[in-house]
Amino acid sequence: MDAVRAINGESAPHVTVVLADDHLVVRAGMRLLLSQDPAFDIVAESATLPDTLRAVEQHHPSVLVLDLNLAGQSSLGSIPELQAASPRTRILVLTMQEDPAFAREAMRNGAAGYLLKEAAAEELLGATRQVAAGASYVQPSLGARLAVAALDTPGAAADGALTVREGEVLSLLVLGHTNQEIADRLHVSVRTVETHRARIRNKLGAESKADLITAARERGMLA
């Protein structure tokens, strides 16, 4: 099988996707999951960084789903080059690297989203939809760790420190989830979510969603 494989479908969905992973089985799994949504058209697959760059230059996909390790080569530092090759392409990192430092660096380099391979199938679909729509996405559990890690750095205000749960709620809030959706995802009551929101607003001095987004970005949770 070629490292880059064009896939010609009978229809032309409005979200084109390139899958970059050096494991054939992983690519097959991603292709199977994304094909559940008729809005997605998998236009190419790649297993190396050079082939990924060629695929992006050739297809200018809406979304590039990118592993951080391709054939033994880190793709983290290549995100700006991939972005420059196709500025309208949104890059969703899908990786086993759960260290918040990798997520922070990927987002700073230009990635639109960061998702762990352990995520549920529905989360991959949702994350791909969100980045394709122009939003940022960080897996909520990792977003919480990013917030906590940022607050552990020198100069972080102690009175603004978020708990892990508050970090999860903040991450979901800035991604556009309602109180009910957050409650469902975290398996808590809506009242509990409202309490967390109030505490987050008080700690961060955030009165609006724009304030929350700014606070999340400052904590490395968004690009």
pLDDT in tens, 172-195: 887 788 888 888 888 888 888 888
Predicted pLDDT at 119: 80
Average pLDDT, integer, range 124-151? 76
Determine which helix (DSSP H) or strand (DSSP E) holds 208, and give its type and residue range.
Answer: none
| Domains located in the chain, CATH noted | 15-138 (3.40.50.2300), 141-218 (1.10.10.10)
Predicted pLDDT at 2: 42
> Amino acid identity of 157?
A
Nearest Cα to 95, choosing from 81, 87, 105, 85? 105
Name the pTM for this structure.
Answer: 0.64
Residue-wise pLDDT for 30-89, tens only, equals 999 999 899 999 999 999 999 999 999 999 999 999 999 898 888 988 999 999 999 999
Classify residue 137 by its DSSP letter. Answer: E
* Whole-Å CA distances, 173 to 103, 183, 202, 212: 19, 11, 15, 8
Burial of 190 (0-12, 13-18, 19+ CB in 10 A): middle
Average pLDDT, integer, range 135-154? 62
Q: Report the SS3 class of residue 13.
A: coil
